A and B are shown apart, each in its own frame.
Chain A
Amino acid sequence: GENVEQHPSTLSVQEGDSAVIKCTYSDSASNYFPWYKQELGKRPQLIIDIRSNVGEKKDQRIAVTLNKTAKHFSLHITETQPEDSAVYFCAENDMRFGAGTRLTVKP
């Protein structure tokens, strides 16, 4: 199947800073791009998603942007807090996940 590349694999930021995670996909027919947050020992939880007919979506401190031409989409977390520390996965059309980004927010 098609691959989703996710970068970086680890990200450490200071509390209050912003964090950006980027994913690249290869299937131009893909039209749905969710992001999941997985805390240690817990299930992944959907935090935000975007469809191919919009370029950006925002929910409080979390936003996702989509560039269909370049085939990449990014998760943006502003004013990070220690409880944002987790592994974040992007996915393409719900089926295939990126390798994950371990975000650590230092107080």
Chain B
Amino acid sequence: DAMVIQNPRYQVTQFGKPVTLSCSQTLNHNVMYWYQQKSSQAPKLLFHYYDKDFNNEADTPDNFQSRRPNTSFCFLDIRSPGLGDTAMYLCATSNRQGYGYTFGSGTRLTVV
């Protein structure tokens, strides 16, 4: 009964090779978020969508982009991954801001 599903669970990509991570939700939540979590660190917000309105954090690298083609799906595109992009990428949803998140299981990305 997973409600926020991320694919793949594990991804290994070569330095500089574009990669796309996906997130889907069955909750019909308006807001979707992408977080990057490096080992032993707090999740760091990359982007969020409030419906179709895209919000980019000021310190999110230009290398990272996102798409939300419909309510259910959201994608994270990393155009030219660097070694420093190795991390867990967490997708989260909420009905609206200020009501707590439901996180997906995450995609563990390794850049080699």
Contacts and interface: CB of A to CB of B under 8 A. Distances in A.
B60 to A, nearest CB: 12
A99 B102 CA distance: 19
A89 interface: yes
Interface in A42-58: 42-46, 49, 51
Given A1-B57, A95-B45, A99-B42, A43 B105 contact: yes
B81 interface: no
A67 interface: no
If over half of B's interface residues share one DSSP class (helix, strand or loop), that class is named, otherwise mixed; here it is loop
Interface in A12-63: 31-32, 34, 36, 42-46, 49, 51
Interface of B: 40-45, 48, 57-58, 90, 94, 97-106
Interface of A: 1, 31-32, 34, 36, 42-46, 49, 51, 89, 93-100
28 contacts: A1-B57, A31-B98, A34-B100, A36-B101, A42-B105, A43-B90, A43-B104, A43-B105, A44-B43, A44-B90, A45-B103, A46-B100, A89-B42, A89-B43, A93-B97, A93-B98, A94-B94, A94-B97, A94-B100, A94-B101, A95-B48, A95-B97, A96-B45, A97-B43, A97-B44, A98-B42, A99-B41, A100-B41
